[in-house]
Chain A
Amino acid sequence: MEDCLAKKMEITVSEAEKRTGRNAMNIQETYTAYLIETRAVESQSEGQCAPVESLWRRYSEFELLRNYLSVTYPHIVVPPLPEKRADFVWHKLSADNMDPDFVERRRIGLENFLLRVASHPVLCQDKIFYAFLMQEGGWKEMVNETGFQLKADSRLKALNATFRVKNPDKRFTELKHYSDELQSVISHLLRVRARVADRLYGVYKVHGNYGRVFSEWSAIEKEMGDGLQSAGHHMDVYAASIDDILEEEEHYADQLKEYLFYAEALRAVCRKHELMQYDLEMAAQDLTSKKQQCEELATGTVRTFSLKGMTSKLFGQETPEQREAKIKVLEEQIQEGEEQLKSKNLEGRDFVKSAWADIERFKEQKNHDLKEALISYAVMQISMCKKGIQVWTNAKECFSKM
């Protein structure tokens, strides 16, 4: 962790700004730009503050960065971006991307993303990432020049591999199941949480009606008037308190959402393994069949059916020279194939080793973060209960003095 960028540099996404501009199709569009500020962490003894450097980035650039990292480091569980569109919203929250609350929460999410990358032992050393933070102009070109898009595996290829791979590493199969379960359970939880928030909002807000009616009623009462009036005020306070409470809960929901999206990152690593394993199995299969062909030609026995075999039977055997040439070609191919298989094997083992190391790192991070999130949820509930106790204690006093 000594080399990690996060220790050497303060990174914040400090502002969000609405912009208008023309896009690639020359159509006017509105988007939000985010200000990334960085400052080198000076040692305490110097007592000087390094200058703050800053540049603006929009969401699509963050997406480009992440795509680049996912392709370039397929064995790493790459941190996810905050959601593109507001999801799991309860009725009061807007699902509009331009809504200031959504933009604010996205700003925090983007900052979190940068900090995650900056504290990752491998990712933080990437030059493109560094340039993303420090170099405003020409960054997009720089990314495209890496040619990472060519390295990306096609989805179709990956899907094919998933269905046809015969011997994937058991741990990856288990991990894939886990990430499916994680995604499913967190989605469900977020959906129900949004409904609970909706209902809780309703309970609190209806109490606000007491305030108005108590006040109007107090006007015709002599003895009860004061008590009613002040109790009504407390009911208004109670009704208003839910807004802050639920806003805080949104941050908790965002923490869960991050791990919802992490599940997808986990699955991406598993898919890469399946792809490599499938590739390996195909290469091995190909090599075996070539060796067999070679043997058959050399010994003259035909064990496997082949069209060539049939045609040569029909139209006569080939000459010994022709056979020799074929054998030679095959032997060369077999040589190449064995080398390739060796390197693929090595690659595969390296991948499994480094991927699994990152997965262990991820597991620890996840356990720590989720436990902290659950604790923070409990803290929020406690705060809500304490506020409730205060309001109703005050109300009780007013009522009992009526």
Chain B
Amino acid sequence: MINQYKFEDGPELRDLFITVDDPESHITAIETFITYRVVTKTTRGEFDSSEYEVRRRYQDFLWLKSKLEEAHPTLIIPPLPEKFIMKGMVERFSDEFIETRRKALHKFLNRIADHPTLTFNEDFKIFLTAQAWELSSHKKQGPGLLSRMGQTVRAVASSVRGAVKNRPEMFTEMNNYMETFSQKINLLDKIAHRIYKEEKDYFNEMKEYGPIHTLWSASEEDIADSLKGVASCIEHCCRATEKRMAGLSEHLLPILHEYVLYSEILMGVLKRRDQIQGELDSKVDALANKKTEKDLFSEEIGKLEDKVERANNALKADWDRWKQNMHWDMRSTFTNVAENNLRYYEECLATWESFLTSQRVDLHVDEDSEDRP
């Protein structure tokens, strides 16, 4: 399996290797769900063993993500593939869907492993190593759904209050950037899907086009070979089109989709930072109005100021890292798209050129026979 993402520190320095594979269907009285095998190999001291194999379902990944968001509100947590929402389908999961999801989950865990901070997160370690029952019991501890909802409500409330007044310039710039980026990446996602659809339609028509020439050759003598040659070229181009489509769906479409998700994640991270700052600001305002208990407030404010500084620094560092990775991802993905198209045209060119050569050879043969007295 090829890991298609950048290692910040280079592969030699990695000490945690994770794979997600082997989807399996589980049927109980209540529900049907898929589990994936998660294999971890590591040389890290804090892990009791050097190799782990566990089974996880999508719900478990969701839990991990929310724990990471909780612990690191201003870090950029990698995107998870979305829940499957399809109306009225009996067979919820097609093989294609499961495979796409598996690849995305694999990427998700590896991105966390690559992250300088998240890689040492305790919940992450438990996710990778705990047996099913251990994980269940661990999940039941800690703040539950309601507290998470509370955070979300507060975040929404603070955004309703409007842009934070003391927001550092840098974060306003980030906000502006993300708004435009989000717009553009969504457009690119739509365009890429459109291209895929058009290529598919083209492929379907080409499939019918080639065989007509073969059919025609059946009622001809002299030109039968030429007709069959054209039919074979068209079939060849058909196969090349299929490969081109596969390239799109395997590389471009997933990456663009990830960055659509990333843009949502980043907007959320910026909001949470604003919210943390908002806590500090409101306390500062409150202090200004208070005449007594100033000392107590100062201590609280001091703590909040630290919190804000930590959050800002974490976000700044992660933002730089994210931008670098994004840059790398976009460059390699679009270069790959160009290579894909090049391969397509080169294959088609070769097949038509060899047809042409065969035809011109025939013409020369005919001319020679005419010259004979």
A residues adjacent to B (C-beta < 8 A) = 178, 181-182, 185-186, 188-189, 192-193, 195-196, 198-200, 202-203, 206-207, 209-210, 213, 216-217, 219-220, 223-224, 227, 231, 367, 370-371, 374-375, 377-379, 381-382, 385-386, 388-389, 392-393, 395-396, 399-400, 402
Contacts and interface: CB of A to CB of B under 8 A. Distances in A.
Interface in B318-365: 327, 330-331, 334-335, 337-339, 341-342, 344-346, 348-349, 352-353, 355-356, 359-360
Given A192-B209, A389-B345, A389-B346, A213 B191 contact: yes
B222 interface: yes
A251 B226 CA distance: 19
A209 B198 CA distance: 13
A182 B219 contact: yes
Interface residues of B, number: 51
A371 B216 CA distance: 13
A395 B338 contact: yes
A378 B194 contact: no
B220 to A, nearest CB: 8
A206 B191 contact: yes
Contacts, number: 137
Contact of A389 (B194, B205, B349): B349
Contact of B348 (A198, A202, A220, A381): A381
Interface in B182-221: 184, 187-188, 191, 194-195, 198-199, 201-202, 205-206, 208-209, 212-213, 215-216, 219
Contacts of B355: 378
Interface of B: 177, 180-181, 184, 187-188, 191, 194-195, 198-199, 201-202, 205-206, 208-209, 212-213, 215-216, 219, 222-223, 226-227, 229-230, 233, 237, 327, 330-331, 334-335, 337-339, 341-342, 344-346, 348-349, 352-353, 355-356, 359-360
A255 to B, nearest CB: 13
Nearest to B181: A220
Nearest to B349: A385
A304 to B, nearest CB: 46
A396 B229 CA distance: 32
B195 A206 contact: yes
Contacts of B191: 206, 209-210, 213
28 contacts: A185-B215, A185-B219, A192-B205, A192-B208, A195-B205, A196-B202, A196-B205, A202-B201, A203-B198, A209-B191, A213-B191, A217-B180, A224-B330, A367-B223, A371-B222, A371-B223, A371-B226, A377-B230, A378-B355, A378-B356, A385-B349, A386-B349, A388-B341, A388-B344, A389-B349, A396-B338, A399-B331, A399-B338
A381 B215 CA distance: 21
Contacts of A200: 202
A225 to B, nearest CB: 11
A393 B335 contact: no
Contacts of A182: 219
B176 to A, nearest CB: 8
Nearest to B191: A209
B209 A392 contact: no
Given A203-B195, A209-B187, A385-B352, 8 more contacts: A178-B219, A189-B209, A189-B213, A199-B205, A202-B198, A209-B194, A371-B223, A392-B345
A89 to B, nearest CB: 15
A198 B353 CA distance: 24
